[in-house]
A and B are shown apart, each in its own frame.
Chain A
Amino acid sequence: MSQWLTLLQKELVEMWRNYKWIWVPITFILIGVQKPISTYYTPQIIDKLGGLPEGAVIKLPIPTAEEVLVQGLSDFSTLGVLIIVLSTMGMIAAERKSGVAAMILVKPVSYQSFVSAKWAGGLLLLWMSFFIGYLATWYYTGILFEWIPIADFFQSYFLFGLWFSVILTITLFFSSSFLSPGVAGFCSLAVVIIVSLVSSALSNWLEWSPALLTSYASEVILGKGIVDHTISASILAVFIILILLGFGMFIFKKKELAS
């Protein structure tokens, strides 16, 4: 256990030294708050720029606070995915490629701990950054529009975070399977995009797909509460995470560290 904590601590320190603890949360904040702020100020900006030409009857519907927050969330699901993949894809692949993984693993270090400590470090960064970014979004929606109940905020946060965790685990899995971070990143993005597209296109049949956790989170904000299949999708997400993590460890152990 103490060995695992040492490995985890190294991950956290590394993320601090290469500023991941700064740029990832800031990017999440920027992605999130951009929606409420732009939605709120767009009519005023148009006004300031001379207004609409006379006679033009364009009504800008004022969205509700719930709609704004849901849109903010959907921005997370596109750009957030990119950040997760980019910040995770090198975690194992780069260390193995450079040879430093071999330096560490000739010491009596368990391969499972090596992978799982990285996974845990990545998850900590993800949940923290997403929390800060989403909290900022919720806050701006609150002061510019209306306050969304904090319980809804937390419920949607957990559902969304769970889907993000699936993405992170997929990326880590590919990172332990390939030597090149780029290839790992590409495969992860491809898988996530395909799963998301297929799940939303066939949402009537694939209600249990973890990719739909994003829409279930939106339902929570729109006041529909925890809809059917949310639980089954969550359980499946946890299962997928554990299985991919296990496979990742297995492949990492199986693959020869040197050639």
Chain B
Amino acid sequence: MSLIQIKSLKKSFQGKEVIKGLDFTLEQGSCIALLGPNGAGKTTTLKMLSGLLEPTEGRIVFPHAKKGEDIRKLIGYLPQFPVFYEWMSGLEFLSYVGKLAGMTSKQAKEQSLELLELVGILGAKDRKIGKYSGGMKQRLGIAQALIHRPKLIMLDEPVSALDPIGRREVLDLLEGLRKDTTILFSTHILGDAEEVCDEILFLHNGEIVESGTMTELRERYQQDKIDLYFTGKAEMFAPAFTNHELAISVLQEGNRIRVFVKDLSLARKYFLKMISEQNLPLEKFETGSMTLEDVFMKVVGK
């Protein structure tokens, strides 16, 4: 069942097209990572979905929303840099937001306490938000996105600003949330996407350049590679591999040459032979298959 359908969504700022036509559908109960380098348009996309920005073109459809229903009821949103009323306490802010979303004072308070517990800052409920640390604000931000039990929560770079421990905790929190909510979150960190989500949308220069589940992507990009490490710069050795008939593509970076190959066992044989014949200063020879990072570099590099 699809929860939200995005149809040829476009956005321009001062005539410059930032989002160049997005089409995708989010299934209920799924977890999707919006992956892309900085400036790809992740935040702009999320802002349009949350109603903060008006799309220049295209439509965002919630098939299940009743006619005339405020779609903001169905969405919880955590901006990249959440800001709060600093003079309120954490509990006050959550209750306030809960009441705005239509709960009674009592409901709002109960729900707030529950969420504060869930995100692990119940101990600081009466402290002023101005005195919260960055990690606590991020958790409070997640709590406020969940307060009205939305069908979809959208998180903009929820872990980018956190230290490793905070990052770990928030990722675990997201894992826990997956059970009852649809999650869409943006990140530029591949590992995070891979860990929490089962589906990935690659965004680059305002376009979706690749999408699919982890397994789909792996299959599609199932490709063997050989990493060769040399003493010193590997630049001058690269042409020998680029022109090789078994090589599909070659990446050179510092003292490493990465060759994607058609037939691993054959390539291994030929490459090793070539290296010994030409007496190349090889340090390390490694075989393997493509990681998500390679997929990322590949689609972004296009």
Contacts and interface: CB of A to CB of B under 8 A. Distances in A.
B100 A100 contact: no
A106 B83 contact: no
A256 B12 CA distance: 13
A224 interface: no
B100 A3 contact: yes
Nearest to A98: B83
Q: Is the interface of A mostly helix, strand, loop or mixed?
A: helix
A105 interface: yes
Nearest to B81: A99
Q: Is the interface of B mostly helix, strand, loop or mixed?
A: loop
Contacts of A6: 96, 99-100
A98 B85 CA distance: 10
B251 interface: no
Nearest to B128: A17
B87 A18 contact: yes
B82 A109 contact: no
B102 interface: yes
B190 interface: no
Interface residues of B, number: 27
B165 interface: no
A57 interface: no
Contacts of B13: 259
B51 interface: yes
B79 A102 contact: yes
B112 interface: no
Contact of B73 (A3, A14, A108, A259): A108
B47 interface: yes
A99 B137 CA distance: 14
Interface string A6-27: 1100100010011000000000
B299 interface: no
Contacts of B100: 3, 6-7, 104, 107-109
A258 B47 contact: yes
Interface in B84-117: 84-85, 87, 96-97, 99-102
Given A3-B102, A7-B100, A259-B13, A106 B52 contact: yes
Contact of A108 (B52, B70, B144): B70
A257 interface: yes
Contacts of B72: 106-109
Nearest to A100: B83
A105 B97 contact: no
A10 B96 contact: yes
B202 interface: no
A3 B72 CA distance: 15
Given A3-B102, A6-B100, A106 B85 contact: no
Given A100-B85, A259-B13, A106 B77 contact: yes
Interface in A225-259: 256-259
Contacts, number: 63
B87 A258 contact: no
A108 B79 contact: no
A256 B52 CA distance: 7
A102 B52 contact: yes
A103 B97 CA distance: 9
B148 interface: yes
A106 B78 CA distance: 9
A103 B82 contact: yes
A95 to B, nearest CB: 9
Interface string B10-21: 000100000000
Contacts of A7: 100
A71 to B, nearest CB: 38
Interface string A105-146: 111110000000000000000000000000000000000000
A103 B144 contact: yes
Contact of B79 (A3, A14, A18, A99): A99
Contact of B85 (A14, A257, A258, A259): A14
Contact of A105 (B52, B73, B99): B52
A257 to B, nearest CB: 5
B57 interface: no
Contact of A103 (B53, B73, B83, B148): B83
B54 interface: yes
A179 B72 CA distance: 24
B187 interface: no
A104 B97 contact: yes
Nearest to B93: A103
Contacts of A106: 50-52, 72, 75, 77
Closest 5 CB pairs of A and B: A99-B83, A108-B72, A108-B70, A106-B77, A6-B99
23 contacts: A3-B99, A6-B99, A10-B85, A14-B85, A98-B83, A99-B79, A99-B81, A100-B85, A103-B79, A103-B97, A106-B72, A106-B75, A107-B148, A108-B73, A108-B102, A108-B148, A256-B53, A256-B54, A257-B53, A258-B47, A258-B52, A258-B53, A259-B13
Interface of B: 13, 47, 50-54, 70, 72-73, 75, 77, 79, 81-85, 87, 96-97, 99-102, 144, 148
Interface of A: 2-3, 6-7, 10, 14, 17-18, 98-100, 102-109, 256-259
